[in-house]
Structure 1
Amino acid sequence: MNTDNIKLGPCKVVFGEDNDPNKVVLETTQGGVVLTYEETSREVTMDQTGTTPIKEIITGRTATVAVPFGEYDQDILLQILPGSKQVVSATDPDRKQVIVNATKVIDLIKFAKKMTLIPLAEGTTENDHVVIYRAAPRTTLNYTYSYDNELITNTTFKAYPNDDGDLISFGSDVA
């Protein structure tokens, strides 16, 4: 057993490339960032074997990353609420609001960006990174305003394949 391969700890989430002026770094989470990768498949059967499959074919792959983000920040909300807009007061630039319009039909792929999960535990390297090549945010706001609760913005990023068909990678970028 190699105990060096047993990993624990939180991560930060980078949504966007380094050169993207709208890049978002989500570093404060509560409850853990959850990466889910799943495969769908179809069992192949023949009359001669009845309902016993003779083989199985992978028909699809999906990945999602659930990020319970703990900082209330309008600039970040603007990036993770597709189709939202920010309005800033003409007389006081500190007064601003994010407006979400319910009449827009949104194509999420237009909001998709590269997303990287970077573990924060001591001793982790780029080989521990996870990259979603094209991720789009879906956000659920469920704020409880009380003494016992933080305002947590639950955002789930759904993976879509890039132009090469790549969905997700594990480890250091070697390209």
Structure 2
Amino acid sequence: MAGVNSENIKLGPCAVYVNKGKPDEVYFGTTKGGVVLTYEETSREVTMDQTGTTPLKEIVTGRTANVAVPFGEYDHEKLLTVLPGSRMIVDSTDPNKKRVVVNATKVIDLLQYAKELTLVPLAEGTTPNDYITLPKAAPRANLNYTYDYDNELITNVTFKAFPDDNGDLISFGDPDAA
């Protein structure tokens, strides 16, 4: 097949990092059901009376990016990361006793919780050129735990991308490329 590079056909799961390589890095390495990246554009067709409903051109008016991460580790630190406005309480006499508390009376600005999110494919031969990065992504969690023998406890979180200070929303490839 002329012009087809089968090396560019990718398959497999990925690992998800919040603030990869930074001191506050959080690693989501176990997922169930697949990590799903959604990138969408909105646009507006431009028409004139003289051409009726036939568009003369189309203009992109907006872009969104989201990453759905169904992670399988029941971990207090990770819950704290994906539940904006939550807080950790650690017992003063036994540091192994802890809980994450979510307060319902707070109005939360998700932008203040936005951090860099990186998807790293786990396939053999993966390089940083295969990474996908959202420079500012805020978590939105939907917890629906089923306690039975047939299901793992999966925490569903969707990270919503916001433009960074340069207006960048998402990047495909090596984050260190300058």
Contact 2:66 2:161 in 1 (8 A): yes
1:171 aligns to 2:178 (yes or no):
no
Uncovered stretches (5+) of structure 1, i.e. residues with no partner? none
C-alpha separation in 2, matches of 1:44 and 1:30:
43
Q: Structure 2 residue aligned with 1:6, among 9, 12, 16?
A: 9
Match in the other structure for 1:39: 41
* AA aligned opposite 2:142: T
C-alpha separation in 1, matches of 2:57 and 2:155:
43
1:19 aligns to 2:22 (yes or no):
yes
Matches within 5 A, 1:19-168: 19-21=22-24, 23-168=25-170
Q: CA deviation at 1:120?
A: 0.4
Contact 2:79 2:100 in 1 (8 A): yes
* Per-residue Cα deviation, 1:51-105 (whole angstroms, up to 9, x for no partner): 1111000000000000000010011101110000011111211111100000000
TM-score (norm 2): 0.96
C-alpha separation in 1, matches of 2:84 and 2:95:
23
* AA aligned opposite 1:127: N
Q: CA deviation at 1:20?
A: 3.4
Count of residues in Structure 1 that have an aligned counterpart in Structure 2: 174
Uncovered stretches (5+) of structure 2, i.e. residues with no partner? none
* Per-residue Cα deviation, 1:121-170 (whole angstroms, up to 9, x for no partner): 01111110001010000000000000000000000000000000001000
Percent identity between matched residues is 67
C-alpha separation in 2, matches of 1:86 and 1:132:
26
Contact 1:17 1:113 in 2 (8 A): no
Contact 2:20 2:26 in 1 (8 A): no
C-alpha separation in 1, matches of 2:116 and 2:98:
28
Q: What SS does the aligned partner of 2:145 have?
A: coil
